[in-house]
Amino acid sequence: MRKKKLFYTASFLFACLFIFSVPVCYALIGGSSIKEIEQANQPKQGAEPVVIPKPILEYTSGSLRDPFKPYIVKEETKATEYRSTQEPPPKLAIQGIIWGGSLPQAIINNTVVKVGDIIEEARVLEINKEGVTVFFKSRQYKLASPGLSGGAQTPE
């Protein structure tokens, strides 16, 4: 086993020595030194450099999406049209919130509601100490607790 390892190590070192000595031997046999070969490869003074034109590539994917463009295109006109056609939420006033127990409840427009109830076409999603979150016409609204800001409605 030790002889095999020694043989492989010696073979590797001999191969490295051979690979790195070939250019030097070639330069010596040819009658020129390495410096002369480097100078021969340098462009001559006064000669114009060789310019290789680069091809111009254009992405053509056919029916596939261009990966360099954003995946979602935001169009301002559609967003403003959607907002203008959206119905405002109903007037919901919070009179009180009970949020510490296992079944949080709120008093909205003098009606006791819990999570999942519907009041004036708005579904109650969450009740916590900051207020009540309702879902109305594909949009969420946060109704602030009466102690925080007087029960103001803010869209999320």
Residue 81 pLDDT grade (very low, low, confident, very high; cuts 50, 70, 90): low
Share of the chain above pLDDT 70, in %: 71
Question: Is the per-residue pLDDT at 86 higher than 90?
Answer: no
**Does pTM surpass 0.85?**
no
Find, among 73, 70, 129, 76, the residue nearest to 98 by Cα.
Answer: 129
Q: Are 115 and 129 in contact (CB under 8 A)?
A: no
- In angstroms, the Cα distances linking 25 to 18, 19, 139 are 10, 11, 81
Q: Are 124 and 114 in contact (CB under 8 A)?
A: yes
Q: Identify the weakest region by mean pLDDT among 27-31, 64-68, 149-153.
A: 149-153
Per-residue pLDDT, 32: 59
